[in-house]
Amino acid sequence: MRREERVAAGLSELERWLADQIRQGIASARQSGPADWDDLAKRLIDAQAPGVAGIVARLSGHLREDDWPERLLAEYGLVHLLSVAYQRSAELTPELRETVRSRVGFTVARERVLAQPPIRDVWDVIGARDEIQDRLISRRVWLHGRSTGRTALILTFTPVGQPVDPSTLTTLVTGAALDADVTFYPGAAPLRALLAERYGVATPAPPAGVTVSEVPQLIADALAGDPWLESWPVILANVTPTNTAATDEPGQAWMLADADSGAALPLHPAAGVPWRLLAVSGGRPVTVATEWTPRGMRLLTTWDEDHRVVIL
């Protein structure tokens, strides 16, 4: 059996499982516990659909959240959409088909990515984040092109206990700038990329940002290309950290507010009190590099009055 057939069979089993969950009611998820999801995830790995398996394996984590019924139902809808999209991939545009295959777990050869048309620009390294998952350290480095306005994600994986790729520690340092070609992975909302030809370093500078009011359309356009996005880079200009509550306790409603319009975007609930951003801002508007997520903005970096980068 070819891999495509094994994946299709695994997704058919997933569809039956999802139908059972909806038929039994969303409350049954807490009664069955995480073992049910773990077993399904293992079967999806056997079916060579690791991307879908990863989504399913993370579902049980939502049970610890206050709004778990809404979160779980939304995730069920997204994984169902991915399953149906793969099974009807012949009806999709080539770009969306690439996105779906990537989300399911098909990899793209490095040589194929480097063969894509390069985009040369001065790329500012606006932030980085390390996460540990399945005994792998994933390093996400965000780039922003000064002339093109494009954003790019350089993603590397390192087994826990092994040294991180040294190039991400020396070349892709937050606050650095480099003149380079970047080639993007194929997809309907190109974001992940590889560094190709490098021409030299450039003088670091705070990047241009967007207003808070522009963010909803920016995210809507990204989700139209890839509905399964979990994060998207956003550089906000002229914002100040503010709290809608009367106290500064962790978990309160911290926002990034536009200094002119007052429009605001919430920070991720896990962000806590943004002490470092408060110190840099001192009440004045600043530029902040963030990651949009469905639960709120995650802080990456900001720039002080002397245009020096400050990691948040």
What confidence score (pLDDT) does residue 168 get? Answer: 61
Contacts of 120 by beta carbon, 8 Å cutoff, 6+ apart: 179, 180, 181, 182, 197, 199
Confirm whether 125 is domain-assigned: yes
What confidence score (pLDDT) does residue 67 get? Answer: 80
- Asked whether residue 36 falls in the same domain as residue 88, the answer is yes
- Asked whether residue 132 falls in the same domain as residue 95, the answer is no
- Asked whether residue 190 falls in the same domain as residue 216, the answer is no
Which of residues 57, 73, 104 is at a domain's end?
A: 104
User: Which among 107, 104, 59 is positioned nearest to 82, based on CA atoms?
Assistant: 104
- Asked whether residue 132 falls in the same domain as residue 56, the answer is no
Q: Which H/E stretch holds residue 145?
A: strand 136-145
What confidence score (pLDDT) does residue 70 get? Answer: 87
- DSSP single-letter state for residue 115: T
Confirm whether 30 is domain-assigned: yes
For residue 166, what is the domain's CATH number? 2.40.50
- Asked whether residue 222 falls in the same domain as residue 273, the answer is yes
> What distance in Å separates the CA atoms of residue 242 and residue 256, rounded to the nearest whole number?
6
Q: What is the pTM assigned to this prediction?
A: 0.88
What length does the chain have?
312
HSE toward the beta carbon, residue 36, CA cutoff 13 A: 13
- Asked whether residue 263 falls in the same domain as residue 182, the answer is no
> What distance in Å separates the CA atoms of residue 80 and residue 227, rounded to the nearest whole number?
12
Confirm whether 207 is domain-assigned: no
Span between the terminal Cα atoms of the chain, in Å: 49
118-166: pLDDT as tens digits: 999 999 999 998 887 777 788 899 999 999 999 999 998 877 777 766 6
- Asked whether residue 8 falls in the same domain as residue 100, the answer is yes
Which of residues 51, 82, 104 is at a domain's end?
A: 104
- Asked whether residue 99 falls in the same domain as residue 16, the answer is yes
What confidence score (pLDDT) does residue 59 get? Answer: 83
Residues of the chain with pLDDT under 70: 1, 33, 164-170, 245-252
Write the CA distances from 124 to 48, 231, 301, integer angstroms: 37, 19, 12
- Asked whether residue 143 falls in the same domain as residue 236, the answer is no
| Residue 294: how many other CB atoms lie within 10 Å | 13
- Asked whether residue 262 falls in the same domain as residue 297, the answer is yes
What confidence score (pLDDT) does residue 184 get? Answer: 97
Q: Total domain count for the chain?
A: 3
- Asked whether residue 90 falls in the same domain as residue 160, the answer is no
Confirm whether 114 is domain-assigned: yes
Which of residues 143, 178, 201 is at a domain's end?
A: 201
Confirm whether 206 is domain-assigned: no
Domain of 89 in residue numbering reads as: 3-104
> What distance in Å separates the CA atoms of residue 110 and residue 244, rounded to the nearest whole number?
46
2-44: pLDDT as tens digits: 999 999 999 999 999 999 888 888 878 777 767 788 889 999 9
Distance of CA 207 to the CA centre of its chain: 20
Question: Residue 160: exposed, middle, or buried by beta-carbon count in 10 A (0-12, 13-18, 19+)?
Answer: exposed
What confidence score (pLDDT) does residue 164 get? Answer: 66
Confirm whether 18 is domain-assigned: yes
- Asked whether residue 29 falls in the same domain as residue 74, the answer is yes
